[in-house]
Chain A
């Protein structure tokens, strides 16, 4: 059993479990949307004193922070008990494309070039992670949601604004991948 669970899970299992998580949250009387946590954390840190956007009763949203804590624990459980340490099985074409940008073939879940401890010594990598995070935080709040809130919850409810957001996600992702990556790496 543990051995089976330790193998990479196929996409249809993953997709079904993610839909299940959305339904579970609905039955808990909440909605599935992760990026709201960033706003909640800002508010909990006192940002509401200066900026009205963060002036709300964040304590009512603690359930979402608990979900976040669970997500961190889930990552830890996966890496500690359910991992074979195998490299991510991406396609050969992607490996070749990424090699041309200076990334070695996968050795684990993430590239050492970006997420290894040595990347903390590189000003460029720190700037990329900081800048990337900034775009994620700004963009998700501007769009009113991220992949969970729009692509999963919003599309499931057939909300067309969520479709606009998801199209935006892809426009941005394609610009970064095809136009900016060759300039950055």
Chain B
């Protein structure tokens, strides 16, 4: 089962996101109202440790489990797509109180109405695909 490792990593993700309450609409509201350090602590710790990890991975030219050099694809350099796309995403994030990962973790938590938001996410993704060439990037 080559795929099992991805399922297990996903399980770890689902558990940590729910046990630290990062899948909660309340926590996202608290974050956008700047009324607690909790979510900033989570994202901040992940980014600081992530920066250190990526630095060493590059410095020592580390390889993945199959022996291939770990590489990072640079994001294309522009502003509009990240700014406009980011703002649209942020509107939805604050409304539903979940970003794409937590949408699905909440499903496992048996908050069934989240399926409507997941369906909306698929429709939104499809609409982007349709309108892509007409949008500034």
Interface residues of A (CB under 8 A from B): 5, 8-31, 34-35, 37-39, 41-42, 47, 51, 53-54, 62-64, 66-79, 82, 88-91, 93-94, 97-98, 106, 109-111, 114-117, 119-120, 125-126, 128-144, 146-148, 150-162, 164-177, 180-181, 184
Contact = CB atoms under 8 A, between A and B. Distances in A.
Contact of A169 (B89, B108, B122, B135): B89
A11 B107 CA distance: 22
A140 B75 CA distance: 14
Contacts of A94: 26, 29-30, 33, 35-36
A159 B54 CA distance: 12
Contacts of B5: 28
Nearest to B88: A139
A117 B77 CA distance: 44
**Secondary structure of the A contact surface, majority rule:** helix
A155 B39 CA distance: 16
Given A75-B14, A97-B33, A157-B72, A129 B117 contact: yes
A73 B33 contact: no
A12 B19 contact: no
Contact of A29 (B9, B51, B68): B68
9 contacts: A27-B70, A28-B9, A90-B26, A94-B35, A115-B106, A132-B117, A136-B98, A146-B101, A172-B87
Contact of B51 (A27, A62, A158): A158
Contacts of B110: 76, 79
Contact of B85 (A21, A42, A168, A181): A168
Contacts of B49: 15-16, 19-20
A75 B105 contact: yes
A38 B121 contact: yes
B113 A74 contact: no
Contacts of B45: 11-12, 14-16, 18-19
A161 B81 CA distance: 9
Contacts of A17: 12, 16
B46 A18 contact: yes
A60 B116 CA distance: 27
Contacts of A10: 20
Nearest to A50: B130
Name which of B53, B76, B124 has the most chain A CB atoms within 10 A of its CB.
B124
